[in-house]
Structure 1
Amino acid sequence: MRAPLLVLALGATSVAAAACTENLDGGAGCPSLCPEESERFRDTTFEASEIDSSLAGYPTLGLSNNLLLANRPDTLVTRAILRFDVLTTSFLPNGTGTLDSITTVDSVFLKLPLDSTGRRGGNPVTLEAYDVDTTASDTVPAVLRSLFRPDRRIGTLTLTPSSTGDTIRVPLSRTFMQARIAAKSRVRVGLRLTGSSGQLRLRAFTLGFGAPTLQFDPASDTTYRPITLTTQTTLSGAENEVNLAYSLYALTDIGSPPPGPNTLVVGGYPAYRTYMRFNVPRRISDSSTIVRADLLLTQQRSRFGNVRDSVAVFPLVPTATADVSDLRRILDLTAEGTLLGVDTTRFVPGDSGVRSLNVLGLARSWRLQAPTVPRGLALRIALEGAQPAELRFFSRTAAPALRPKLRITYLPKSEFVLP
């Protein structure tokens, strides 16, 4: 009887071993248990956007590193305002320790640092400077535009934008400057380009190296060291950030058109940002392994700005909770998406069709975010506020085939199965 029992025992052992060695690399079970059959990667493409909107007015006044001065009548026309509200009225003559009042000046210039990259124009243009100081409400664009007239012109410079270096010096009227110093007044200058089409990108570091300055000699003797003034202003009852904003800023005469129906805009001038909030099932965002995620946008052909120039789009990740409903506040609280591994993507404004943005880093971050933080994404353009390129996409209210979509490849969560 021993032989049959031994055979039976060996047979039972073999069956058990065979049962627990199937698909061992496909489940989540401990080797001591029999795992379930392998889960397979799943692909899904769906209309995930539950809110999308474009908001204008970027960058915030006074917070741009650059300021675009443009004369492109078919596309973009801007002006610049520079305020020097504190003038130096005395100086130390060479070799003395006694302050003297400034009664005459020489070599009065606006020194304008430039970003010399990008499209600027190859035809000569004239840069005109105007006295735009007034007792009227000079934060109102219409009031300021009315001051750009011949009797208030205080300087001109003809140049070819594509041939300029990294700095230009605009000569200003000595008589004008002497009168302002004698009156212990202020200097507020308006700039515009006239003549041929062209543009200049001014550096606008109002609190750091490279900002526009007003320079002059405090006497006709050129051995004296020039006096340099930086932009600053004080508005009645205004906070510091408002005063900073109005020290150096741009006016837009002709800018990009509004988005219109069924359209999202990124860039333009003044620039737009686009915000999108996604409705992604928690079983995908929180309980699966996402291996691919793309935001699919259908691009519209833009006719504004540099339509054939490739332009970078930067992702922004909202961090505000659902309690924050103000869109501008939500965008102010975004973080740079590149820190989460979300790719920067380049587009050509004049193109059209379906475009893909890799948002895998964003999708993988969703499980790490608090449940009260909506799953969203915002987009801004490179050199925001310093170039006129814009990108246009169809929104969630467009025809179904044109709406934004998410394409996700994921591995569902595996479960243990007892044998």
Structure 2
Amino acid sequence: MSERVRWTWSRVRGPLLALSLFTASAVAAACTENLDGGAACPSLCPEQSEQFRDTVIEAVALDTSLGGFPALGLASNLVLANRPDTLVTRAVMRFDQLITAFSPNGGSAIDSITTVDSVFLKVPLDTTGRRGAAPIAVQVYDVDTTANDSTTSVVRALFRADRLIGQLTVTPNTTGDTLRIPLSRTVMQAKIAAKGRLRVGLRLSGPGQLRLRAFTLGIGSSTLQYDAASDTLYRPIVVPAGTTISGAPSDVNLAYSVYAITDVGSLPPGPNTLVVGGYPAYRTYLRFNVPLRITDSSTIVRADLLLTQRPSRFTNAADTVAVFPLVPTTTVDVTDLRRVLDLAAEGTLTGLDTTRFVPRDSGQKAINVLGLARTWRALPTNVPRALALRIGLEGSQPAELRFFSRTAPAALRPKLRITYLPKSEFVLP
């Protein structure tokens, strides 16, 4: 190498070395600095990326509990109970279309029914779950009247001794899947002779409980059965439950065919309290306000609704019960929360799981709502981010769950626990 070349290299080597050291220092600084405003660092230092973040937030903007579920006539089972300290119920069954004529001995002639034998009310039972060992009496009353018997107080007044038309004593844990309650032949004959109707009310005498599978949209529903006395073939005449209320639509007639009356039931939620279940059953509605940086600008990998449970001593407090999530689908234009809950979709159809609780437990409980939280990004702005909860076998069993609401002390309020990965854009600095 010539002297001139060596001289030139010695003059530029120093500045180049300084520039290299400066660049390395700048890169190192960029890799150690927490750049919240962008994703420049990962492009310079591929080994560094955004970290998962955990947060617990009071995101519930509205919560409330609404009672009276399921709607009249839509329960698959009815609870007939006589526990004066917690639950007392009755059941009403209407048979408005009595059969008053028959074909004697299977012939072609039609004859009027004047006398009857073997009059029974047949009521299917739900035999699942715990059943008592103490005998109880199922009493049947004639509750037909010309007064407005769609009013509960009118019907209650007809459960009196002079209207008792049938009774059966049973031991729940040894009873089969159907009650066969004998009814008065004299009353039945008078109803048929007058071409009238039979409307009966059931209640228990003695402490206990029965779950009647009395109305399942025509499958396994209660029936009235009797024989025409002059028919030697003894083929029972079967009349299904049904009613005809003047001027009422079909859904109202369906609702009043078989229904329950509650004398003593669940207490109202009270202050700082949410209720799921009970009898009549409550549902709980929660609306969330979650920061957009979480719902729209991150990937949510875990989401739990944290509720602090309060012990309940309502009936069946020691049993494990399931809670089903509901996903409200209405827009903010629907302000009637009862309507919102009626139109809500089953959460299990959107990937949400059921959760099981013991009513008498207490403390913080978690409900997995990850499937719901991941849908919030795609929801239109006029659809609230919300969740509702209903109990399993709603209206068919009386267990209830109680939780603290958003008005409770801060440590007890509902919260969302979310783990998320902030969204990272690949950009050059």
Same-fold status (TM-score > 0.5) = yes
Assess, with a 3 A threshold, how the Cα gap between structure 1 residues 248 and 35 changes in structure 2: closer, same or farther.
Answer: farther
Assess, with a 3 A threshold, how the Cα gap between structure 1 residues 206 and 345 changes in structure 2: closer, same or farther.
Answer: closer
What CA distance in whole angstroms lies between the structure 1 residues aligned with 2:69 and 2:170?
A: 29
Residue 313 of structure 1 and its aligned partner are, at CA, apart by 0.6
Q: Secondary structure at the match of 1:266?
A: strand
Q: Secondary structure at the match of 2:371?
A: helix
Q: State yes or no: 1:92 paired with 2:103.
A: yes
Assess, with a 3 A threshold, how the Cα gap between structure 1 residues 206 and 233 changes in structure 2: closer, same or farther.
Answer: farther
Residue 219 of structure 1 and its aligned partner are, at CA, apart by 2.5
Residue 149 of structure 1 and its aligned partner are, at CA, apart by 1.1
Residue 161 of structure 1 and its aligned partner are, at CA, apart by 1.1
Task: Tell me which of 148, 151, 156 is aligned to 1:145.
Answer: 156
Match of 1:224? 234
What CA distance in whole angstroms lies between the structure 2 residues aligned with 1:204 and 1:137?
A: 23
Residue 29 of structure 1 and its aligned partner are, at CA, apart by 8.6
Task: Tell me which of 392, 399, 402 is aligned to 1:389.
Answer: 399
Q: Secondary structure at the match of 2:49?
A: coil
What CA distance in whole angstroms lies between the structure 2 residues aligned with 1:300 and 1:201?
A: 26
2:119–2:183 CA contact under 8 A, matched in 1: yes
Unaligned runs of 5+ in 1: none
- 1:168-208 deviations in whole A, cap 9, x for unaligned? 1011111111110110000000000002x211111133532
- Aligned pairs (5 A) from 1:120-159: 120-159=131-170
Task: Tell me which of 184, 190, 194 is aligned to 2:205.
Answer: 194
Q: TM-score when scaled to structure 1?
A: 0.91
What CA distance in whole angstroms lies between the structure 2 residues aligned with 1:293 and 1:83?
A: 48
What CA distance in whole angstroms lies between the structure 2 residues aligned with 1:411 and 1:360?
A: 14
What CA distance in whole angstroms lies between the structure 2 residues aligned with 1:288 and 1:177?
A: 70
Residue 34 of structure 1 and its aligned partner are, at CA, apart by 5.0
What CA distance in whole angstroms lies between the structure 2 residues aligned with 1:234 and 1:383?
A: 28
Match of 2:178? 167
What CA distance in whole angstroms lies between the structure 2 residues aligned with 1:207 and 1:87?
A: 20
Residue 223 of structure 1 and its aligned partner are, at CA, apart by 1.4
Task: Tell me which of 41, 51, 63 is aligned to 2:52.
Answer: 41
RMSD of Structure 2 on Structure 1 (CA): 2.7
- Aligned pairs (5 A) from 1:59-70: 59-70=70-81
2:92–2:260 CA contact under 8 A, matched in 1: yes
Percent identical pairs in the alignment equals 69
Q: State yes or no: 1:56 paired with 2:48.
A: no
1:106–1:220 CA contact under 8 A, matched in 2: no
What CA distance in whole angstroms lies between the structure 1 residues aligned with 2:354 and 2:375?
A: 17
Q: Give the letter for the 1:246 counterpart.
A: Y
Q: Secondary structure at the match of 1:103?
A: coil
Match of 1:253? 263
Assess, with a 3 A threshold, how the Cα gap between structure 1 residues 92 and 35 changes in structure 2: closer, same or farther.
Answer: farther
What CA distance in whole angstroms lies between the structure 1 residues aligned with 2:49 and 2:320?
A: 44
Q: Give the letter for the 2:241 counterpart.
A: T
What CA distance in whole angstroms lies between the structure 1 residues aligned with 2:109 and 2:297?
A: 77
What CA distance in whole angstroms lies between the structure 2 residues aligned with 1:61 and 1:388?
A: 16
1:128–1:155 CA contact under 8 A, matched in 2: yes
Residue 224 of structure 1 and its aligned partner are, at CA, apart by 3.3
Q: Give the letter for the 1:141 counterpart.
A: T
Q: Secondary structure at the match of 1:94?
A: helix
1:35–1:417 CA contact under 8 A, matched in 2: no
Assess, with a 3 A threshold, how the Cα gap between structure 1 residues 211 and 348 changes in structure 2: closer, same or farther.
Answer: same
Q: State yes or no: 1:401 paired with 2:411.
A: yes
Match of 2:376? 366
- 1:136-174 deviations in whole A, cap 9, x for unaligned? 111122211111111111100000112111111011111
- Aligned pairs (5 A) from 1:168-183: 168-183=179-194
Match of 1:283? 293
Unaligned runs of 5+ in 2: 33-37
Q: Give the letter for the 2:190 counterpart.
A: A
Assess, with a 3 A threshold, how the Cα gap between structure 1 residues 258 and 88 changes in structure 2: closer, same or farther.
Answer: same
Q: Secondary structure at the match of 1:82?
A: strand
2:125–2:214 CA contact under 8 A, matched in 1: no
1:35–1:416 CA contact under 8 A, matched in 2: no
Point out the structure with max Rg over C-alpha.
2
Q: Give the letter for the 2:142 counterpart.
A: D
1:110–1:214 CA contact under 8 A, matched in 2: yes
Q: Give the letter for the 2:158 counterpart.
A: L
Residue 333 of structure 1 and its aligned partner are, at CA, apart by 1.1
What CA distance in whole angstroms lies between the structure 1 residues aligned with 2:130 and 2:316?
A: 8
User: Where does structure 1 differ by over 6 angstroms across 4 or more consecutive aligned residues?
Assistant: 1-4
What CA distance in whole angstroms lies between the structure 1 residues aligned with 2:255 and 2:62?
A: 31
1:206–1:231 CA contact under 8 A, matched in 2: no
Residue 33 of structure 1 and its aligned partner are, at CA, apart by 6.2
Q: Secondary structure at the match of 1:180?
A: helix
